[in-house]
A = this chain, B = another copy of it.
Amino acid sequence: MPQISTPYHHGDLRAALIDAGLDLARTGGPDAVRVREVTRAAGVSPASAYRHFADHRALLVAVALGSQDLLAQAMRERISSLVADASGTQEQAVARLRGVGLGYIDFALAEPGWFALALLTFDPAGAAAPSVTVAHEVPPPFQLLIDALDGCVTAGVLSAEGRVNAEWPCWSAVHGFADIATRGPLQGQDAPTLAALGVHVVDRIVAGVRSR
């Protein structure tokens, strides 16, 4: 975690506030990360948060970046086991593409609170870029998708023509399903059903992108 300010009175507030925010968001979603609750959980005064964050939105974005890291980490672990498998590159490439989508969906189903919070990170209006240029220029989860699609091109399962703008159908389908399953009409369905539907969605969109 990029931490510049040296610990003074507390030790490292800012980090402690972000951790408390992650705890609250895990069960309560984005609405649960409130200035007063977070500072209360950290055993500190509400006003102290404003020494480290400009306002409530800045705190929210900081916690959201944390949950986005968790999402990216879960996706990487999901596909790491596949890359170790040294089978044919064609199958491997599409397996990685599927793994990216399924990792995204699995994380959303397993941690809906964190997932809903991570979505705030994709909103450019909210993610204030600190001064110059920064990491998080393109969100890590999205970068994993781009890499997987590029891998499909080099492996020959996707033509150069089929590659252009392929990110959006893929991300749309996977993200849309995660949203529907998490906050929409599929909410509360049993886990096996949701997992099966998730696989179905990924299979259909991969087929659609390849059919070109």
Contact = CB atoms under 8 A, between A and B. Distances in A.
Contact of A207 (B165, B173, B187, B208): B208
Interface string A120-158: 001111000000000000010010000000000000000
B188 A124 contact: yes
A173 B177 CA distance: 8
A36 interface: no
A168 B177 contact: yes
DSSP majority for the A interface? helix
B180 A125 contact: no
A173 B207 CA distance: 13
B197 A168 contact: yes
Contact of A173 (B173, B188, B211): B173
B205 A204 contact: yes
A2 to B, nearest CB: 21
Interface string A147-191: 000000000000000000110110111111101100111111000
A122 B185 contact: yes
A29 to B, nearest CB: 12
A24 to B, nearest CB: 20
A174 B205 CA distance: 11
B180 A172 contact: yes
A169 B123 contact: no
A56 interface: no
A144 to B, nearest CB: 15
A70 interface: no
24 contacts: A122-B180, A122-B183, A123-B185, A165-B197, A168-B180, A168-B200, A169-B173, A169-B177, A169-B200, A169-B205, A173-B173, A173-B205, A175-B179, A175-B180, A175-B184, A203-B208, A204-B205, A204-B208, A204-B209, A204-B212, A206-B208, A208-B209, A208-B211, A211-B211
10 A-B pairs with the lowest CB-CB distances in the bound complex, closest first: A176-B176, A208-B208, A172-B176, A169-B204, A172-B177, A204-B208, A173-B173, A175-B176, A207-B208, A122-B184
